[in-house]
Amino acid sequence: MSEHPLRAALANYLAVRRSLGFKLTRDALLLEQFVSFCEQACAQRVTSDLAIAWVTAPQKASPSWMSMRLTAVRGFAFWLQAADPAAEVPERRWLPPRRRTNPYLYTDAEIAALMEAARRARWPLSAATYETLIGLLTVSGMRIGEAIRLDRDDVSVDDGLLTIRDSKLGKSRQLVMHPTTVSALRSYLKKRAALSPTPAEPALFVHPAGNRIVYNSVSPMFCALVRRAGLTPRSAHCRPTIHGLRHTFAVNTLIGWYRQGLDVQARLPILSTWMGHTDPKWTYWYLSASPELLVLAAERLEASLARQP
């Protein structure tokens, strides 16, 4: 039995995009499901109706989840259309506009509550892992995926450097750690060596079984810590998420620069590089993420205008 043409095309599509530096972990899973859906429908090519039927198939799916599914299919459909003009690309207008959620910006007290909740985890190694993970995300602004991929060799406590390898588009970067961060990581490494059943495991953050933590277990654990810490949504579009720690780092950095009287616009590329943004426009978005930031920016603008003749 010959391979379905869409499955062969998907393998080529993923191979080419990954060769350009895209990881496509989530897109690959979604598109595998989409191709299976097409096979069950005995379809040899992608049509808009078929794509929309798959995108909207999950019951009670949120608009953001359907938009994510549609984006994955559209990218694949554009690829197919280059070789087969009969392949159809579903239009975005089929779905309601996606509203970007408001970032949940954590207070110092809320972060302390999360870390305290982590310390009360059932397993000592889990407690040490999640307390250190939350603290590192808070002070570094790195992505959760980057933290999960860290190896012990990526942490140099002697030099105070943290190496983030093979991030978006295959780029790597180094972060200079504050002495308190170095101390916390050194303490975690000692606990990890004593508590892990497989201390030679290269991963930095591990489960009680000794293997590397994965997002599918980190996400529900973080939700459990949020509940234990007593954190609640501020609105329907502003919920405490693990990615909110990255937002909080960026906003606090910008607020600190404003309060110090520094040229924030000139320093934004530094923050962009630190956070591993592929385009500075993603860093500029943080300027509108906090009411306090907007007030500080307005005060800076008013002071600048007042100095003009």
pTM: 0.70
**pLDDT at site 236:** 74
Which of 8, 4, 92 shows the shortest CA–CA distance to 48?
92
Q: Which residues contact 277 (CB under 8 A, 6 or more apart)?
A: 283
Q: Which residues of 63-73 are buried (b: 16+ CB within 10 A; e: fewer)?
A: eeebbbbbbbb
Kindly tell me the burial class for residue 19, based on how many C-beta atoms sit within 10 Å of its own C-beta (0-12, 13-18, 19 or more). exposed
Q: Tell me how crowded residue 201 is: count the other CB atoms within 10 A of its CB.
A: 17
**pLDDT at site 293:** 60
Q: What are phi and psi of 138, to 5 degrees?
A: -65, -40
**pLDDT at site 158:** 94
Catalytically active residues are: 143, 168, 243, 246, 277, 286
More confident residue, 191 or 301: 191
Structure confidence at residue 299 as a pLDDT band (50, 70, 90): low
Residue 301 has pLDDT above 70, yes or no: no
3-state secondary structure (DSSP) of residue 229 = coil
Cα of first residue to Cα of last residue in the chain, in angstroms, is 80
More confident residue, 284 or 304: 284
DSSP state of 213: P
Average pLDDT of every residue of the chain: 86
Lowest mean pLDDT among 18-27, 181-190, 232-241: 18-27
The number of residues in the chain equals 309
30-60 pLDDT tens trace:
999 999 999 888 888 899 889 988 988 887 7
